[in-house]
Structure 1
Amino acid sequence: MAENKTKATAGDVAAFIEKSDPKKVEDSYRLIEIMERLSGENATMWGPSIIGFGKYHYKYASGHEGAMCRIGFSPRKAQFSLYILSCDSPEQSQLADQLGKIKKAVACIYFKKLEDLNLGILEKMILQSLKETKEMWG
């Protein structure tokens, strides 16, 4: 079975942010503040480009298993990628409709800058994701 490429590393979060798109630095630090406060976990690097918070272990019926951050984000060149669980669940989907200028996938939300988002709704989505992750994976 293939091993996961995305793992927690000892990478320097601040150094990674400072090397990212200069337009995303301030928003990145703001996201870290929000996610650390809501998760109770410190920011850590996951792989070369994801800033994650917390950790959970999953195992699918197929036998594939691994570890992943409970929530995270990446300040990618084109846009931010926000990693949360089940943004297509009914609760998350309803919140996503109120979030602002986004594109969404199953476990990822894409946006250009924080000012395009309703931060109150973002915090609700993060808390819902943390709750769902705990319920599913402990």
Structure 2
Amino acid sequence: MAANKTAPTRVDPHEFIASVAHPTRRADAQVLLEMMEEVSGQPATMWGPTIIGFGTYHYKYDSGREGDAGAIGFSPRSTNLALYGLTVAPESEELLAKLGKHKRGAACLYVNKLADVDFGVLTELARHGYRHMMEVVHDPS
């Protein structure tokens, strides 16, 4: 069985954010950290060297691959903010239409800066995404 290569670390997410070179990305990361902690009720945890996650869920695919991952999270990359777990809930499509300037990847939502999006809509995406990951996707076995 293959497992997730990205695992929680002991790195302090606040220290990681403080090390982000781009000032807008650093400030946006701090705002995202506070919002996602509030939405999830979970403390921030570093997953690997660059992802900040909130909550944990267990997944198991038919292929046998399984592991644990952050329910929602983000990574302040050099070119954008990558947001995880925000496009999975049934409510996501309607909210994404109202979000503002963004791009979607296979499992990610990308925004250049928080000023480009409606923060209230982003918060609702995080709320629905967290609930969906914990209640629907989570495999407690």
TM-score normalised by structure 2 residue count? 0.90
Report the equivalent of 1:135.
136
1:122 paired with 2:116, answer no
d(CA) in 2 for partners of 1:50 and 1:68? 11
Per-residue deviation, residues 98-118 of structure 1 (Å, max 9, x unmatched): 111100123210011111111
Report the equivalent of 2:14.
14
d(CA) in 1 for partners of 2:55 and 2:89? 21
d(CA) in 2 for partners of 1:62 and 1:73? 26
d(CA) in 1 for partners of 2:89 and 2:131? 12
Report the equivalent of 2:101.
101
Structure 1 unaligned regions, length at least 5: none
Question: Does the CA contact (< 8 Å) of 1:70 and 1:130 recur in 2?
Answer: yes
Structure 2 unaligned regions, length at least 5: none
Question: Does the CA contact (< 8 Å) of 1:88 and 1:106 recur in 2?
Answer: no
Per-residue deviation, residues 81-101 of structure 1 (Å, max 9, x unmatched): 00015x266521111111111
Superposition map of 1:1-138 within 5 A: 1-20=1-20, 21-84=22-85, 87=87, 90-133=90-133, 134-137=135-138
d(CA) in 2 for partners of 1:14 and 1:4? 24
- Quick one: which amino acid aligns to residue 80 of structure 2? Q
Matched-pair identity in %: 45
Could you say what the CA RMSD is over the residues aligned between the two structures, in angstroms? 1.5
Question: Does the CA contact (< 8 Å) of 1:84 and 1:129 recur in 2?
Answer: yes
Paired residues, what number?
137
Question: Does the CA contact (< 8 Å) of 2:53 and 2:70 recur in 1?
Answer: yes
State the 1:34 CA deviation. Answer: 0.4
Higher relative contact order (CA 8 A, sep 6+): 2
Residues 135 and 104 of structure 1, relative CA distance in 2, 3 Å threshold: same
Per-residue deviation, residues 6-54 of structure 1 (Å, max 9, x unmatched): 1111012122111112221111111111000000001110000001101
